[in-house]
Amino acid sequence: MQEISGKTIWITGASSGIGEATAYQMAEEGVKLILTATNTQKLLAVQHRCTKLGADCAILPHDLSNTDNIHMLATQAMALFGSIDILFLNAGISQRAKALDTDDVVDQKIMQVNYFAPVKIAKTILPAMIAHGGGTIAVTTSISGKFGFPLRSSYAASKFALYGFFETVQAEYYDNNIRVVFICPGRVRTNISYNALEANGTKHAQLDEGQASGITAEKAARQIVSAIRHQKREVLIGGKELLMVYIKRFFPAWASRLVRKIRAT
């Protein structure tokens, strides 16, 4: 079991949704928090509440689509409290466009934010984490990382890639006391659909019906903190849509037919 109280925890995508709710859950444990997101003003508001809840909290604003400075960002994060015990790679951006309609720059931005940024952060943090005796890396994937989904080609690809990379990391560094926890949400009531990218890179700018009917970010956060505490390999978060994960696993041909009929919103 991973003790959380007193630990240093870095959360990306911490200004709203799952990241924000998890920050509040962690703050109540008396932790040292590092919060990263693009919007500085929103981060300051989250920092203020986390401090009131009992955390020692710092912010590191950064646009993770700019991966050139990721090594510097991660180095700054480690310097804030001397070490990072739990790394929650939560930041991500979704998509609402067919594959052939999607501009190359949109494909690239989704992969930069969702895949290359967390990989670069992890590769910077891991040596120090290992030297410090180990730690936990939690990664937000998605049920779209389990099966292809209409209007999500690059988003699904980025989430599939996260499984491949971080499963390998756990296999290679398990004996160094590195544990990976895959956080796999289905529908959670956040702004992810609002911020999703259309074919030309503009924001989708609406809360999809499926997203609106999802579980709350607070409920998701409670499950996430529990999964990190118990160092579960994976936690599925959501409602009835999670059934598709099991259908894909045991009845892949049936799953393919069902996916083709899904109303992609």
Task: Judge whether residue 1 has pLDDT over 90.
Answer: no
State mean pLDDT over 219-239.
Answer: 97
Task: Judge whether residue 2 has pLDDT over 90.
Answer: no
State mean pLDDT over 49-65.
Answer: 97
The range of the structural domain enclosing residue 127 comes to 8-261
Task: Judge whether residue 63 has pLDDT over 90.
Answer: yes
Candidates 10, 33, 8, 172; CA nearest to 83 is 8
We report the CATH number of the domain holding residue 36 as 3.40.50.720
pLDDT at position 265, please?
A: 56
DSSP class per residue in 159-189: HHHHHHHHHHHHHHHGGGTEEEEEEEESSEE
Strands 178-185 and 56-59, bridge-based pairing? unpaired
Mean of the per-residue pLDDT values of the chain: 95
pLDDT at position 222, please?
A: 97
State mean pLDDT over 143-170.
Answer: 96
Question: pLDDT tens digits, residue range 65-86?
Answer: 999 999 999 999 999 999 999 9
- For CA atoms 192, 51, 219, 245, the dihedral sign is positive
Task: Judge whether residue 180 has pLDDT over 80.
Answer: yes
- For CA atoms 60, 176, 1, 224, the dihedral sign is positive
Question: pLDDT tens digits, residue range 83-108?
Answer: 999 999 999 999 999 999 999 999 99
pLDDT at position 3, please?
A: 85
Catalytic residue among 155, 173, 174, 194: 155
Find the helix or strand (DSSP H, E) in which 85 lies: none
pLDDT at position 264, please?
A: 59
Task: Flag whether 1 is in a domain.
Answer: no
Active site residue 246: no
- Provide CB contacts within 8 A for 243, sequence distance 6+: none
State mean pLDDT over 164-182.
Answer: 98
SS3 152: strand
Task: Flag whether 235 is in a domain.
Answer: yes
Task: Flag whether 3 is in a domain.
Answer: no
pLDDT band of residue 253 (cuts 50, 70, 90) is very high
Candidates 213, 208, 212, 203; CA nearest to 240 is 213
Question: pLDDT tens digits, residue range 124-156?
Answer: 999 999 999 999 999 999 999 999 989 999 999
| Domains identified in the chain, total number | 1
Q: How many Cβ atoms are within 10 Å of 187's Cβ, its own excluded?
A: 22
Task: Flag whether 2 is in a domain.
Answer: no
Phi, psi angles (nearest 5°) of residue 181: -120, 120
Task: Judge whether residue 210 has pLDDT over 70.
Answer: yes
